Amino acid sequence: MTVIESKVTLKRPVAEVYTFLADCNNHEQLMPENVSGWSSTRDEARFTIQNMASLALKVESRMENREVVFVPSERAPFDVTLRWQVQPDGEYQTQARLTIEAELNMMMKMVAAKPLQKLADFQVEKLRAVLG
């Protein structure tokens, strides 16, 4: 199992950050430019990563003001879980962490680990830009 993490501190209450992350419709704002064909509902998102693959992710679980877990809703190139965790850091500040857990063989790890880390870092920075 390959585990990739990135985290950020936001000047927003935990409930506000959780509410944003719990809705798949908001995640389009966190995607890099090489993502296209976005369609989503509150519980599922479909998109294409340029020159790579089409993905469909769904919310597997939500724990209010704590965690939102996304898993593939269709066959994916490898098993992957995206886990957003939030926790209060004072009254008006929140720590948000994105963890990507991927089942990668050695060959896939060599190819995919760096882009997955880049994606995680990009998404937390976009979250900071959107929510501050």
Q: What is the pLDDT of residues 9-46, one digit of tens each?
A: 999 999 999 999 999 999 999 999 989 999 999 999 99
> Are 104 and 2 within 8 A, CB to CB?
yes
pLDDT (tens digit per residue) in 76-90: 878 899 999 999 998
Q: pTM to 2 decimals?
A: 0.92
Q: Which of 51, 29, 52 is nearest to 40 (CA)?
A: 29
Query: For residue 98, what are its two tokens?
Result: 């994105």
Written out in words, the top-level CATH class of the domain with range 2-131 is alpha beta
Determine the Cα–Cα distance for residues 75 and 15; give it in Å rounded to an integer: 32
> Are 56 and 46 within 8 A, CB to CB?
yes
Determine the Cα–Cα distance for residues 116 and 70; give it in Å rounded to an integer: 15
Q: What's 73's DSSP letter?
A: S
> Are 58 and 50 within 8 A, CB to CB?
no
- Cβ neighbours of residue 111 closer than 8 Å, sequence gap 6 or more: none
Q: Where are the alpha helices (DSSP H) in the chain?
A: 14-21, 106-131
Q: Where are the domains of the chain?
A: 2-131
pLDDT (tens digit per residue) in 13-23: 999 999 999 99
